[in-house]
């Protein structure tokens, strides 16, 4: 009995242990499932056919074409999930730190190192595949088709990354807008980001090869906070479309060598990573990488169908050594859809860029552009019919109600619905625009950046002309006042008053613009009256004499010459279409030399020269397909891909308003920027003119000189203002911008992204005996005497991404009219700055 009692508990305990053993074995050996999705960290494109496996357990799988994976495993204790894909950094995830039951969303970063094993084969499969693609390039290149058309939906999103939210919330400027930070997305990126702005448009696009024509109609656009119709024309696809089969792909104004350039095998290494079955078709995974550092090329991959060798998808990424500013990442993804049995056409493209001024970890703007295409038509008579009446090569138009679209209309227009982030952007922007404090912040930033500020119906500025200094006026104070569109939509009134503490005199200007017609052919009438010191020609991007910044950069030992100008003019400027425009000017001018210039000039007869003129001028201008950005009253040229030419004829009429000078002037110029890829670009300007009449120096050609150390592209920088006179002249300005040039071969300069250039400026001139005798009795001026004045220069551009240093040599033999006139400088160092990509 006692034995039975003893044995019974043992049996029970043994059975319990066996049961627990089975339970334990079932718990640790039961299969569990791991699933997730893998995407590119920049483009958010799914990464298909990536390897996903357990480092110790060995279980794993290849992701499908949508980047998804799912597999079963038995044990994950102390194991690590490894994700690897060619061209990307491996990702290692300790599974103990994750809840296995939840799907994983994994971002892969592009690898900056070429640490892959290179296997040399007798046949380079990548090069062989590239040659096959190139043999059919003309069939794939959409620009080679007779015509095509589609509807495009374009969406541009701006996000902010690396934002210190807690610090931003405490900032006294941003504190009132703290609700914005509630929109931060901490799941879509490795680092949290703030969706900030969104623009979208829908347009119809048509293209014809011969004769070449393109047309785009902006049917609708959604642009919050910027009421500028001209800006909407840049939201379509005509100005943003990328064709991977072009020899060069333009990204942010820079030319990058395409992997399908006719000579791409000189710049790229090609390989075939593997072969997959996609849509039941054998498809090659085609890889391309730069051969050399420092060249503007891409790295990336493409999926290429076997047999037809058509590219079904391509991803392009900015090479880390590419010479481009303020950009840490660029990605371009294009997918091609099957239109019929033999034709593929662009179905979707995405562009991504990270903009940062002070490095990857600084405040970063993420730009994302997504375009989808539908209703694609190829080689169709309807396209020819649409373009038949168009008499210009490129035309972009906007519907009159393009901006006035309801939310319900946009839901119908969009090719895809908005994400939650995108919907929140519109709600946030609407709320911000209604806030008085945000409106005040906008006004303050505009005032600092542009110099102008609106006060009711008036505008003041620019602030950088409020104070300056010179030897004639002493400290010069100036105040400008103009109107804005709250007073008149098509009339702009402007004037200023200036006062010098040394000459103790007031100066001023008053002018009026009337925009009689804006579209399609602009017509402007303008009248002005002014009395002020002539501060020289001031061009966009240059520093004038009447500027607070010119105080610190004036050349020493160069006498600043002063002349007073009383100026009245009335002009009419008219666009005629197709790039033609005319300007008619009626002008009365009276000059009064003040300092270091002759104020008394007499003819042989003893009669004093007259410094007054009344003249009529006609200017003809041709700038084919020139693009403009229009603001309230003025427009700013964005240039043209074609030469821009001007010719002006001027007749001086004596006997009107005390003017006695009788003369005829003719001057002309032509300029162009010529791309000579891969060697950069040539910026060239050719100009010339003649003046028929015996005139005081103020009405002759005073060759453009430069009295300050800020480099001027249009001037002869070692020449001073009012130094040389001519009445016959011709000149050439040529600059070759070479990109990285020789700097790409030096590791430190390649890292600094310096850029190389050289230039030459030369002018020929002559002065008639009559004009020489009239103006040069006091030996104030030099003449070229039928000879050339030439300067050559070179230097370093893109120093710290904004500065440029020019070393300039005067290679002209001394041309001196008198021993009283000093010889021209032979060498000088100049500086300038410009924000550029």
- Mean predicted confidence (pLDDT) in 344-357: 88
Locate 213 and state its tokens: 């024509």
Distance CA 600, CA 778 (A): 10
Distance CA 477, CA 506 (A): 10
Distance CA 103, CA 39 (A): 14
pTM for this one?
A: 0.81
Please answer whether residues 182 and 176 qualify as being in contact, where contact means their C-beta atoms are separated by less than 8 angstroms.
no
Distance CA 162, CA 679 (A): 37
Q: What angle do CA 803, 805, 808 make, to 5 degrees?
A: 155
Q: Quick one: pLDDT band at residue 829, thresholds 50, 70, 90?
A: very high
Which residues have CB under 8 Å from 716's CB, separation 6+?
703, 704, 705, 706, 761, 763, 789, 791
Q: Respond yes or no on whether the N-terminal peptide bond of residue 678 is cis (omega within 30° of 0).
A: yes
DSSP three-state, residue 779: coil
How far CA 684 is from CA of 579, 646, 734, in Å, comes to: 20, 14, 5
Please answer whether residues 479 and 496 qualify as being in contact, where contact means their C-beta atoms are separated by less than 8 angstroms.
yes
Q: Quick one: pLDDT band at residue 120, thresholds 50, 70, 90?
A: low
pLDDT tens for each residue of 250-286: 888 889 999 999 999 999 999 998 888 888 889 999 9
Query: How many other C-beta atoms can be found within 10 angstroms of the C-beta atom of residue 93?
Result: 17
- Mean predicted confidence (pLDDT) in 647-660: 94
Say if residue 83's pLDDT is above 80: yes
- Mean predicted confidence (pLDDT) in 651-663: 93
Say if residue 147's pLDDT is above 60: yes
Please answer whether residues 83 and 106 qualify as being in contact, where contact means their C-beta atoms are separated by less than 8 angstroms.
yes
pLDDT tens for each residue of 160-191: 877 777 777 777 767 676 666 676 665 555 56
Q: Tell which wins on pLDDT, 442 or 509.
A: 509
Say if residue 209's pLDDT is above 70: yes
Q: Quick one: pLDDT band at residue 14, thresholds 50, 70, 90?
A: very low
Q: DSSP character for 536?
A: -
How far CA 631 is from CA of 230, 395, 634, 635, in Å, comes to: 8, 20, 6, 6
Q: Respond yes or no on whether the N-terminal peptide bond of residue 520 is cis (omega within 30° of 0).
A: yes
Q: Tell which wins on pLDDT, 834 or 86.
A: 834
Say if residue 13's pLDDT is above 60: no
Number of H helices, E strands in the chain: 11, 43
pLDDT tens for each residue of 389-422: 888 888 888 887 877 778 888 888 999 888 887 8
Q: DSSP character for 144?
A: G
Q: Respond yes or no on whether the N-terminal peptide bond of residue 660 is cis (omega within 30° of 0).
A: no
Q: Tell which wins on pLDDT, 448 or 619.
A: 619
- Mean predicted confidence (pLDDT) in 543-570: 74
- What value does the mean pLDDT of the chain take? 83
Q: Which helix (H) or strand (E) holds 428?
A: helix 420-433
What pLDDT sits at residue 187?
56
Q: Respond yes or no on whether the N-terminal peptide bond of residue 12 is cis (omega within 30° of 0).
A: no
Which residues have CB under 8 Å from 299's CB, separation 6+?
87, 110, 288, 289, 290, 316, 317, 319
Q: Tell which wins on pLDDT, 240 or 336.
A: 336
Measured N-to-C along each axis, helices 420-433 and 436-450 cross at an angle, to the nearest 10 degrees, of: 80
Q: Mean pLDDT: which of 118-127, 227-236, 334-343 is highest?
A: 334-343
What pLDDT sits at residue 542?
45
DSSP three-state, residue 127: helix
Beta strand extents in 291-363 (DSSP E only):
298-305, 311-318, 327-338, 344-355
Q: What burial class does residue 555 get, using C-beta atoms within 10 Å of its C-beta: 0-12 exposed, 13-18 middle, 19+ buried?
A: middle
Lowest mean pLDDT among 133-142, 169-178, 576-585: 169-178
Q: What burial class does residue 60 get, using C-beta atoms within 10 Å of its C-beta: 0-12 exposed, 13-18 middle, 19+ buried?
A: middle
Distance CA 101, CA 679 (A): 56
Q: Smallest Cα–Cα separation from 689: which of 706, 707, 702?
A: 702
Q: Smallest Cα–Cα separation from 223: which of 63, 23, 397, 430?
A: 430
What pLDDT sits at residue 806?
96
What pLDDT sits at residue 3?
37
Please answer whether residues 390 and 397 qualify as being in contact, where contact means their C-beta atoms are separated by less than 8 angstroms.
no
What pLDDT sits at residue 194?
74
Q: What angle do CA 267, 272, 274 make, to 5 degrees?
A: 155
Q: Smallest Cα–Cα separation from 623: which of 651, 647, 605, 589?
A: 647
Q: DSSP character for 391?
A: -
How far CA 289 is from CA of 74, 148, 521, in Å, comes to: 40, 32, 48
Q: Which residue has the tokens 């210039």?
A: 597
pLDDT tens for each residue of 772-811: 888 876 578 888 989 999 999 999 999 998 999 999 999 9
What pLDDT sits at residue 153?
93
Percent of the chain with pLDDT over 90: 43
What pLDDT sits at residue 715?
92
Distance CA 512, CA 487 (A): 13
Distance CA 26, CA 32 (A): 12
Q: Quick one: pLDDT band at residue 497, thresholds 50, 70, 90?
A: very high
What pLDDT sits at residue 821?
57
Say if residue 22's pLDDT is above 70: no
Please answer whether residues 290 and 268 qualify as being in contact, where contact means their C-beta atoms are separated by less than 8 angstroms.
yes
Lowest mean pLDDT among 63-67, 108-112, 545-549, 603-607: 545-549
pLDDT tens for each residue of 732-760: 999 999 999 999 999 999 989 999 999 99
Say if residue 148's pLDDT is above 90: yes
Widest distance between CA atoms in the chain: 157
Lowest mean pLDDT among 65-69, 73-77, 169-173, 382-386: 73-77
DSSP three-state, residue 454: strand
Distance CA 108, CA 237 (A): 29
What pLDDT sits at residue 589?
94
Say if residue 835's pLDDT is above 50: yes
Say if residue 238's pLDDT is above 70: no
Which residues in 576-605 are b (16+ Cβ under 10 Å) and which e?
eeebebebebbbbbbbbbbeebbeebeeee
What pLDDT sits at residue 124?
85
Q: Tell which wins on pLDDT, 593 or 602.
A: 593
As a three-state string, the secondary structure of 178-209 is: HHHHHHCECCCCCCCEEEEEEEEEEEEEEEEC
| Dihedral sign of CA atoms 443, 447, 450, 456 in order | positive
Say if residue 12's pLDDT is above 50: no
Locate 12 and state its tokens: 């029970």
Q: Quick one: pLDDT band at residue 4, thresholds 50, 70, 90?
A: very low
Q: Quick one: pLDDT band at residue 17, thresholds 50, 70, 90?
A: very low
Please answer whether residues 134 and 262 qualify as being in contact, where contact means their C-beta atoms are separated by less than 8 angstroms.
yes
Distance CA 327, CA 323 (A): 10
Q: For the chain, what's the residue count?
A: 837
What pLDDT sits at residue 513?
97
Alpha-carbon radius of gyration of the chain = 34
Q: Which helix (H) or strand (E) holds 413?
A: helix 407-413
Q: Tell which wins on pLDDT, 330 or 78.
A: 330
Which residues have CB under 8 Å from 412's CB, separation 6+?
none
Please answer whether residues 744 and 295 qualify as being in contact, where contact means their C-beta atoms are separated by less than 8 angstroms.
yes
Q: Which phi and psi (to 5°) does residue 429 adopt? A: -65, -40
Distance CA 767, CA 342 (A): 70
What pLDDT sits at residue 319?
78
Q: Quick one: pLDDT band at residue 428, thresholds 50, 70, 90?
A: confident
Q: DSSP character for 12?
A: H
What pLDDT sits at residue 35?
82
Q: Smallest Cα–Cα separation from 518: which of 171, 748, 229, 210?
A: 229
Q: Which phi and psi (to 5°) does residue 742 adopt? A: -70, -15
Which residues is 276 bridged to in the sheet?
Answer: 283
Which residues in 32-52 are b (16+ Cβ under 10 Å) and which e?
eebbbbbbbbbbbbbbbbbbb
Q: Strands 394-398 and 213-223: what pairing?
A: parallel
Locate 799 and state its tokens: 């120093």
Q: Strands 782-783 and 724-726: what pairing?
A: parallel
Which residues have CB under 8 Å from 433's CB, separation 6+?
224, 225, 439
């Amino acid at each position: 009995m006692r034995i039975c009692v003893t044995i019974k508990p043992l049996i029970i305990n043994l059975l319990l242990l066996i049961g627990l053993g089975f339970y334990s074995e079932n718990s640790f050996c039961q299969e569990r499932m791991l699933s997730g999705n893998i995407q590119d960290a920049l483009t958010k494109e799914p990464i298909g056919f990536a390897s996903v496996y357990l480092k110790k357990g060995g279980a794993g799988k290849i992701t499908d074409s949508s980047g998804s994976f799912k597999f079963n495993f038995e044990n994950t204790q102390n194991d690590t999930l490894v994700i690897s894909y060619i061209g990307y950094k491996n990702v290692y995830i300790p599974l103990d730190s994750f809840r296995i039951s939840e799907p994983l969303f994994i971002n892969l970063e592009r690898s900056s190192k070429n640490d892959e094993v290179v296997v040399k084969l007798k046949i380079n499969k990548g090069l062989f595949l590239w040659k096959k693609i190139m043999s059919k390039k003309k069939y794939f290149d959409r620009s080679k088709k007779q015509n095509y058309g589609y509807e495009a939906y374009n969406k541009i999103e701006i996000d902010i990354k690396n934002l210190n939210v807690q610090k931003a919330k405490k900032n006294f400027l941003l504190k009132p807008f703290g609700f914005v930070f509630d929109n931060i997305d901490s799941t879509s990126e490795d680092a949290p980001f703030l969706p900030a702005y969104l623009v979208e448009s829908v347009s119809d696009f048509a293209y014809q090869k011969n004769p070449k024509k393109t047309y785009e109609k902006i049917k609708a656009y959604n642009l919050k906070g910027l009421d500028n119709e001209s800006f909407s024309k840049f939201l379509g696809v005509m100005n943003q479309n990328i064709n991977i089969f072009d020899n060069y792909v333009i990204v942010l104004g820079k030319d990058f060598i395409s992997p399908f350039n006719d000579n791409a095998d000189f710049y790229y290494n090609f390989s075939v990573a593997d072969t997959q079955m996609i849509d039941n078709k054998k498809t090659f995974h085609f890889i391309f990488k730069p051969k050399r550092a420092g060249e503007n090329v891409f790295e990336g991959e493409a999926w290429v169908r076997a047999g037809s060798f058509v590219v079904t998808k391509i991803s392009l990424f900015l090479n880390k050594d590419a010479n481009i500013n303020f950009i840490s990442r660029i990605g371009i993804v294009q997918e091609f859809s099957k239109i019929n049995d033999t034709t593929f056409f662009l179905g979707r493209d995405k562009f991504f860029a990270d903009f940062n001024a002070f490095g990857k970890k600084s405040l970063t703007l993420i730009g994302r552009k997504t375009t989808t295409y539908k209703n694609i038509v190829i080689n169709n008579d309807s396209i020819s019919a649409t373009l038949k009446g168009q008499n210009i090569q490129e035309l972009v138009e906007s519907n009159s109600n393009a901006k006035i679209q309801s939310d319900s209309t946009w839901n119908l227009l969009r090719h895809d619905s908005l994400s939650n982030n995108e919907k929140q952007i519109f709600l946030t922007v609407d709320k911000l625009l209604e806030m008085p404090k945000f409106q005040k912040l906008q006004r303050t930033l505009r005032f600092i950046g542009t110099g102008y500020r609106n006060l009711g119906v008036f505008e003041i500025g620019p602030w950088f002309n409020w104070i300056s200094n010179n030897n004639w006026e002493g400290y010069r104070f100036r105040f400008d006042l103009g109107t804005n569109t709250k007073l008149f939509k098509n009339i702009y009134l402007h004037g200023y008053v200036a006062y010098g503490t040394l000459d103790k005199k007031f100066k001023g200007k008053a002018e009026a613009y009337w925009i009689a017609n804006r579209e399609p052919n602009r017509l402007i009438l303008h009248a002005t009256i002014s009395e002020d010191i002539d501060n020289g020609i001031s061009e966009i991007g240059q520093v004038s004499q009447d500027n607070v910044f010119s105080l610190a950069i004036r050349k020493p030992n160069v006498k600043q010459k002063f002349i007073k100008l009383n100026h009245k003019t009335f002009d009419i400027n008219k666009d005629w279409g197709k790039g033609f425009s005319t300007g008619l000017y009626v002008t009365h001018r009276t000059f009064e030399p003040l300092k270091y210039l002759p104020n008394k000039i007499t003819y042989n007869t003893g009669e004093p020269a007259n410094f007054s003129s009344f003249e009529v001028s006609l200017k003809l201008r041709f700038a084919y397909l020139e693009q403009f950005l229009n603001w309230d009253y003025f427009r700013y040229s964005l240039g043209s891909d074609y030469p821009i030419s001007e010719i002006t004829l001027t007749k001086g009429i004596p006997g009107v308003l005390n003017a006695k000078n009788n003369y005829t002037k003719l001057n002309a110029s032509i300029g162009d920027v010529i791309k000579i890829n891969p060697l950069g670009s040539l910026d060239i300007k050719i100009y010339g003119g003649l003046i028929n009449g015996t005139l005081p120096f103020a009405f002759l050609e005073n060759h453009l000189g430069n009295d300050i150390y800020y480099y001027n592209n249009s001037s002869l920088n070692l020449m001073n203002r009012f130094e040389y006179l001519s009445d016959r002249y011709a000149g050439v300005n040529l600059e070759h911008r070479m990109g990285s040039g020789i700097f790409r071969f030096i590791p430190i300069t390649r890292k600094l992204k310096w850029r190389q250039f050289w230039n030459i400026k030369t002018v020929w001139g002559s002065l008639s005996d009559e004009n020489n005798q009239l103006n040069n009795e006091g030996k104030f001026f030099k003449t070229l005497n039928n000879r050339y004045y030439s300067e050559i220069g070179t230097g370093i551009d893109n120093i710290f991404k904004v500065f440029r240093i020019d070393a300039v040599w005067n290679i002209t033999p001394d041309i001196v009219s008198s021993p009283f006139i000093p010889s021209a400088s032979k060498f000088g160092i100049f500086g300038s700055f410009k924000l550029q990509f």
